[in-house]
Amino acid sequence: MPETVCVLLAAGRSRRMGENKMFIKICGKSVLARSLEALDKAGCFDRVVIACRKEDEENIIRTSGAILSVPFSVVEGGSERQHSVKNALDAISGDGIVAVHDAARCFIDPAVIRKCVETARKTGAAAAGVRTKDTIKTVLEDVITGTLDRKNLVNIQTPQAFDIGLIKRAHEKAEADGFIGTDECVLVERLGVPVSFVESHYDNIKVTTREDVLAGRAIAGESIRTGIGYDAHRLEEGLPLVIGGVEIPFGKGLLGHSDADVLIHAVIDAMFGAAAAGDIGAHFPCTDEFFGASGVSLLSRAKAIIEAKGCRLINIDATVIIEKPRLAPYIGSIRETIAGALSLEVNAVSVKAKTTEGMGFEGSGEGASALAVVTLGRIKT
């Protein structure tokens, strides 16, 4: 019985990215997860065949199993895109339609996927793309030699959908001729078969470089938000001094219902402020549950709260105001502790220490305070 199959290409080596782009998160979701969600929402596939690198297979299977509502299988990718598609086609038998999609195009509209499949059923071959907006020139030895009529030019994307028998013949001919194409369309064109054009959208970018990740955040609808946090605690004899999750040798410590980590409390308040999620007291009140609670444990819980509101942490800049002890030797450990609790890179966490030169309650040694500014990215829900 004819079936409709999607071949998802996730076997690239991401040389320009420096890491496997399939697992890079854009606004909280990996590139792979976004592509899988689009395929599933399209609702037109009987199954999915995923071409990937052997070392990524376990991760690919786990992610796909959590998202796809149709059966899927995994094949090993080849050294070229064309070889990966061929390996996937070898796992498909019978009649029907196969749609080939680059997983790196994770912002594809499910409606475009359906349109490509429907068009291929009628014409045998279809490819998504957009009209070229730029003026295109031909160049020879760095000299412009002509201008092409952009009315007849399109930028081809994926998915590209075909009759299964047709695309298999196209691959067989290419293999026999030793020909390597940049996409499936060119292989079908070599058979003299026309490929129907399906209007896509300009958001269907291929995530290839770091700049594409930034563009992806904008496409996902991320907005930047900023929050300010403040906290202050009294210094008392005989208590441990914990600042930024690091215990600092000193004869006094900060007094509070929890561990009174003035720095982390300010950071949490800034996080909640940026997410418009209330304040630290609303989430972690002075109840038995939070008596003696460490700032680091509260920080992890605060992260989960803001993520549930569609927010992700971008940057933290915080200042501790305390006369004594001198915090400079501990700043590195404090930054690492905060970054670790929030799954951030250390260079996204800035911590500074200041004195008031004897002025105010900090300067007299009566207590300490902290200010924090947090930047979040938030996805519209």
pLDDT number for residue 173: 96
* pLDDT given for residue 214 in this prediction: 86
Question: Do 74 and 197 lie in a common domain?
Answer: yes
- Is the model's pLDDT at 1 over the cut of 70? no
* 23 & 121 share domain: yes
User: Are the C-beta atoms of residues 265 and 231 closer than 8 Å to each other?
Assistant: yes
Same structural domain for residues 140 and 234?
no
Residues 234, 366 within the same domain? yes
Mean pLDDT of 102-126: 97
Structure confidence by residue, pLDDT tens digits, 296-321: 989 999 999 999 888 889 999 999 99
pLDDT mean over 41-54 = 96
Judge if 199 and 61 occupy the same domain.
Answer: yes
Q: Cα–Cα distance between 263 and 73 in angstroms, integer?
A: 49
Residues 281-297 have a mean pLDDT of 83
Domain count, the chain: 2
Q: How far apart are CA 326 and CA 329, in angstroms?
A: 7
At residue 342 the predicted structure's pLDDT band, cuts being 50, 70 and 90, is very high
Contact 220, 150 (CB under 8 A): no
> What is the mean predicted confidence (pLDDT) over 139-148?
94
Are both 140 and 9 inside the same structural domain?
A: yes
The CATH number of whichever domain residue 239 belongs to comes to: 3.30.1330.50
The backbone torsions φ and ψ at residue 224, rounded to the nearest 5 degrees and listed phi first, read: -95, 130
With beta carbons less than 8 A apart as the criterion, state whether 91 and 84 touch: no
How confident is the prediction for the chain on average, in pLDDT?
92
Q: What is the pLDDT of residues 72-91, one digit of tens each?
A: 999 999 989 999 999 999 99
The residue-averaged pLDDT of 228-240 equals 92
- Please report which helix (H) or strand (E) contains residue 127, including its range: strand 125-131
Q: What is the mean pLDDT of residues 143-160?
A: 94
Shared domain for 17 and 106, answered yes or no, is: yes
| Mean predicted confidence (pLDDT) in 157-177 | 96
pTM across the whole model: 0.74
Say if residue 290's pLDDT is above 80.
no
Q: Which residues does residue 72 pair with via DSSP β-bridges, in sequence order?
A: 48
Looking at 219, 245, 273, the residue that finishes a domain is: 219
Domain endpoint, select from 189, 219, 249: 219
Nearest CA to 90 among 103, 104, 73, 102?
A: 73
Q: Among the three residues 219, 235, 256, which one is the final residue of a domain in this structure?
A: 219
Range of the domain at 339: 222-379
Phi then psi dihedrals of residue 144, to 5 deg: -70, 125
Question: Do residues 188 and 152 share a domain?
Answer: yes
Rounded to whole angstroms, how far apart are CA atoms 130 and 196? 13
User: What's the rounded mean pLDDT across residues 92-117?
Assistant: 96
pLDDT per position as a tens digit, 356-365: 988 999 988 8
pLDDT band, residue 14 (cuts 50/70/90): low
As a whole-number percent, the residues of the chain with pLDDT over 70 amount to: 98
